[in-house]
Amino acid sequence: MTQKHFGSLNTRTIIPTMWKTARRANALQKTFPSGKPDFHPFPTVTNLINAAFCPLACVHDLLHGLKNVAVLSRGFGGTWTEPVGTLYHDFIAWLKCSIMEGNRPPTSVREVNFRLKEFAMYDNEKKQNCWDFYLKDWYERKASELEQLKKDSNVYFEVFVSNDGVKFEYNGGHRSYPLYGVIDEIDLDEKKIIERTIRGERSDSCPPRPEDYQVWLLWKALSSVDKSKLPGPWKAIDFKKFKPIVETPFNDFAVKETDEFKMVTHDAYAWILDIYGEKSAALVEAYRNRYCDYQNRNEQCGFFPACYGRRWKHPLSRGAMRARLGEFYRPLLWEQMWNSHRLRYCLQEMTDTELATEGLLYPGSIVSTDKNILTIRMNADQANSAMFRKEEGETNTMVIFGTTSVGLEVDATVTKAGRGEVSVRIKSTRLPHFKRVALVFPSTLSIVKTSPWFLKKTTQRNIFWLGKIGRDNDRKAEEDSVVQLLDTFFDDRRSLEMGGKRLVG
């Protein structure tokens, strides 16, 4: 397999941009959110990959709420199908965790297959594909590595890194940008950061793209976190010495830093900035600079159906409809920025004490762990506040093991609170031996409750696909209520009626 070039590099002169983080007043949530945020986005590694791959992918990602360009979608919109890759990675993480918890490693291919069946109770087809095409090969290659895992091995999964000042070199200097991402696996003993993927082939001589870029970005973000922001037990670790690895079912590839990675990153940030803003010219430019066109289309791209979907005859008012629906994309992005990106800036720019005072973070220390129930001791006022939230029905929270810059974010449910302690139920996973933890509640105490930000992304995606639905056949279009309803909304010649007889006064 030869590596594909990044789409965006072929396009325009790269001018690194100045990134505007949330002002302190904003980060402290003292500013009432309204309209366009006066700070720039806090991108994820996925946002960067999409923007680096193709400017139009960046539009689909930020404005249309579509998923990762590297994820092959199945079915229309790819909304309801979970890629086999997720099962593959989740199972490997589970298997390794169970060995580190004291279970013996599997001794045969057959046994691994049996454990997979136990692990994934549903969706036999996905399970079978995962086994036949990927997991069997992976195990045959990794059996001896599994045997070496011990109870005290320092291997962790889904470690997040959030850094509002990742430095990327440029012309002898550097530019700083924010970046958030999740590392599939980090092996502190072997000094490895692993990006696991089902892409790639047996005969490959280089890592698949964009996973090589992805793991490099994650390494870059982690290795540039200020030592003071690392979790206590990890402060002495020099992450710059860690190797970024792309692990396919058939090969492990060490990824080296290249100038191409650095340049494409500056360009990707520039695209994100252009597309998040109000300039309509940015969309035209993104379209003009897209990576492929109909004649040379990239059918492996996860956004293929979005760019090259069928053009239906009905609804006849499609132009007007898409123009009206198009007005919602950017406000929905800005809404996500106020709700989620601003919180990410908050967690980076404020000290734990400030975060605690603002009610955004509930720091504490673990006093006991019983199966999947953690009991956390914290300041009495904060425990009372957690109790109050629980009474108000806000039981969903997130436990951060580590700091707000590096650690594990584990979804949790508050089961008990008050008297200086809070108990939470967590999904069982391998947790680092950090005594210090913190709870983050998704909403503040503000009365104006907001929907979870990810639902806004779903709305972006759904209205984008709504703009693509249709029928060619006139009779079928006539019978299709949704097509007719859309035509009725957006075609001036068609009417809506209230149904009852009109009463005056």
Buried (b) or exposed (e) across 37-54, using 16+ Cβ within 10 A?
A: bebbbbbbbbbbbbbbbb
Whole-number Å distance between alpha carbons of 292 and 210: 16
Residues with Cβ < 8 Å from 406, sequence gap 6 or more?
A: 159, 160, 161, 162, 222, 225, 229, 230, 231, 234
Residue 352 or 358: the one with the smaller Cβ distance to other proteins is: 358
Q: Which of 332, 347, 412, 440 binds other proteins (CB under 8 A)?
A: 332
Of residues 18, 236, 281, 496, which one binds other proteins by CB under 8 A?
496
| Helix intervals (H) in 224-351 | 259-276, 280-288, 304-308, 318-336, 342-349
Distances (CA, A) of 189 to 49, 249, 280, 344: 29, 22, 50, 29
Binding mask 43-82 for other proteins (x = CB under 8 A): ---------------------------------xx-x---
| Distance between CA atoms of residues 456 and 451, nearest Å | 8
Residue 334 interacting with other proteins (CB under 8 A):
yes
Give the helix/strand (H/E) hosting 59.
helix 55-62
* Shortest reach from residue 448's CB to other proteins, in Å: 6
- The DSSP call for residue 214 is H
Q: Cα(310)–Cα(471) distance, rounded to whole angstroms?
A: 10
Interface with other proteins (CB under 8 A), residue total 64
Site membership for other proteins, residue 304 (CB under 8 A): no
CA angle 61-402-102, nearest 5°? 100
278 binding other proteins? (CB under 8 A): no
Peptide bond into 442 cis (omega under 30): no
Residue 104: other Cβ atoms inside 10 A: 10
State which residue, 3 or 488, has the beta carbon closest to other proteins: 488
Tokens standing for 413? Answer: 């449910």
Closest to other proteins by CB, 102 or 393: 393
Of 91 and 156, which CB lies nearer to other proteins in the complex structure? 91
Window contacting other proteins (CB under 8 A); options: 147-155, 206-214, 256-264, 391-399? 391-399
How many CA atoms does the CB half-sphere of 476 hold within 13 Å?
Answer: 8
Is residue 327 near other proteins by the rule CB under 8 A? yes
Stretch that binds other proteins, among 29-37, 45-53, 305-313, 418-426 (CB under 8 A): 29-37
Minimum separation from the CB atom of position 331 to other proteins (A): 4
Least CB distance to other proteins at residue 47 (A): 20
Which of 122, 171, 203, 236 binds other proteins (CB under 8 A)? It is: 122
Q: Indicate the Cα dihedral angle 140, 141, 144, 150, nearest 10°.
A: -100
Q: Is 453 in the site for other proteins (CB under 8 A)?
A: no
Please identify, among the stretches 17-25, 28-36, 278-286, 295-303, the one whose residues bind other proteins according to the rule CB under 8 A: 28-36
Q: How far apart are CA 327 and CA 86, in angstroms?
A: 34
State which of positions 183-222 bind other proteins (CB under 8 A): none
How many Cα neighbours within 13 Å face the side chain of 134?
A: 23
Q: Does 165 bind other proteins (CB under 8 A)?
A: no
How far apart are the C-alpha atoms of 340 and 457, rounded to whole Å? Answer: 11
Instruction: Kindly indicate which of the ranges 252-260, 261-269, 332-340, 402-410 contains the residues binding other proteins, using the contact rule CB under 8 A.
Output: 332-340
495 scored as a contact of other proteins (CB under 8 A): yes
> Binding of other proteins at residue 385 (CB under 8 A)?
yes
Q: Which of 2, 18, 32, 151 binds other proteins (CB under 8 A)?
A: 32
Place of tokens 């650690």: 407
CB 184 within 8 Å of CB 158: yes
According to the binding rule CB under 8 A, does residue 323 interact with other proteins?
A: no
**Which one of 38, 123, 140, 257 is in contact with other proteins (CB under 8 A)?**
123
Question: Is the Cβ of residue 232 or residue 331 nearer to other proteins in the bound state?
Answer: 331
- 272 Cβ contact partners less than 8 Å away, ≥ 6 residues apart: 40, 41, 43, 47, 48, 51, 58, 62
433-452 positions binding other proteins, by CB under 8 A: 444-451
**CB of residue 275 vs other proteins: minimum separation in angstroms?**
17
Least Cα distance to 240 among 193, 184, 179 occurs for 193
By CB under 8 A, name the one of 33, 165, 305, 432 that touches other proteins: 33
Q: Where does this chain bind other proteins (CB under 8 A)? A: 29, 32-35, 76-77, 79, 122-123, 325, 327-328, 331-332, 334-335, 338, 357-360, 385, 388, 391-393, 444-451, 455, 458-460, 462-463, 465-466, 469, 480-482, 484-486, 488-490, 493-503
